[in-house]
């Protein structure tokens, strides 16, 4: 890695050189919308990076919330991630299929729960396989670990807090959805969901922040974020469809040294699914 790259990202070369390092934990955090036509668990079972365990983003969640993959309680998260053999003191590498799509959500969640040494694999599994790197279908049986949670509440924005932010404009809102969804020109993928965006939000589609599944350089990230109308000297809340790709913006922000940011966990699944929230359409 160079000083032009995120300190939270590792290359495929870096990880391949360390596949036999017993101190590193590898998580496959792939997740897809139904329209993408990919089954993450089936793909993991067929071929994954040696030693990786599957992290189910739909299961490791607060299933009582009525929303998709809502952040679980620290105690529930600790129990489940411990079952996967992961401790908060481990060095953890998270990857997804295409790269820089869903892995940053787990990077953010692990850090929010107290893990310190967490990284995202540049290029994802698709890039790993395209380069002919080692894979296998052996499902590891991890030894249960103790994960001691140290939850950081400031990393998460609730619906009540989001409502106050929209009303007051106290924090900037960066929306990671595709611009056509942001403007309301494209229907939401979830049935019954209203279209548009929160008043005051800025459109920052998550896929602008990477190329071929690899996070862009720090100067590029800074330029892209600022071009979206985000003032890097002010606080930011990230949002998306259901709280997953918002974390790509969070990763980019923290990579360039912006620390006053949080993630709206309910995101559009919550805001757009309610009848009592303010919604606007069109470009900003």
Give catalytic residue positions: 240
- Strand-pair category, 172-175 with 53-54: unpaired
Tally DSSP H helices, then E strands, for the chain. Answer: 10, 12
User: Is the distance from CB of 229 to CB of 237 less than 8 angstroms?
Assistant: no
Residue 76 CB-density burial (10 A; 0-12 exposed, 13-18 middle, 19+ buried): middle
The DSSP element (H or E) to which 157 belongs, if any, is strand 156-157
**Bridge partners of residue 24, in order along the sequence:** 91
Cα–Cα distance, 99 to 134 (Å, whole number): 17
The CA-atom distances, in angstroms, between 56 and each of 32, 60, 76, 103 are: 11, 6, 14, 11
CA distances from 260 to 31, 95, 175, 225, 233 (A): 27, 25, 16, 15, 9
């Amino acid at each position: 890695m160079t000083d032009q790259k995120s300190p939270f990202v590792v290359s495929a070369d870096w990880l391949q050189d360390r596949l036999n390092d017993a101190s590193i934990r590898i998580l496959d955090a792939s997740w897809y919308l139904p329209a993408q036509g990919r089954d993450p668990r089936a793909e993991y079972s067929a071929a994954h990076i040696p030693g990786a365990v599957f992290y189910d983003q739909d299961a490791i969640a607060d299933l009582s919330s009525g929303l998709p993959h809502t952040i679980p309680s620290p105690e529930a998260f600790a129990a489940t991630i411990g079952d996967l053999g992961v401790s908060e003191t481990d060095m953890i590498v998270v990857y997804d299929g295409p790269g820089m799509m869903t892995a940053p959500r787990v990077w953010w969640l692990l850090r929010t729960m107290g893990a310190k040494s967490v990284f995202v694999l540049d290029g994802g599994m698709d890039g790993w396989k395209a380069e002919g790197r080692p894979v296998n279908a052996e499902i590891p049986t991890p030894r249960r670990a103790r994960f001691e949670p140290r939850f950081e509440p400031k990393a998460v924005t609730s619906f009540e807090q989001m409502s106050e932010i929209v009303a007051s404009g106290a924090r900037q809102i960066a929306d990671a959805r595709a611009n056509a969804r942001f403007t309301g020109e494209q229907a939401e993928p979830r049935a019954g969901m209203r279209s548009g965006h929160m008043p005051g939000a800025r459109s920052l589609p998550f896929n602008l922040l990477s190329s071929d599944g690899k996070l862009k350089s720090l100067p590029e990230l800074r330029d892209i974020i600022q071009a979206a109308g985000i003032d890097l000297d002010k606080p930011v809340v990230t949002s998306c469809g259901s709280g997953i790709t918002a974390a790509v913006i969070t990763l980019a922000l923290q990579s360039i040294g912006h620390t006053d940011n949080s993630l709206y966990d309910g995101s559009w699944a919550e805001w757009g699914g309610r009848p009592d929230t303010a919604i606007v359409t069109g470009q900003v």
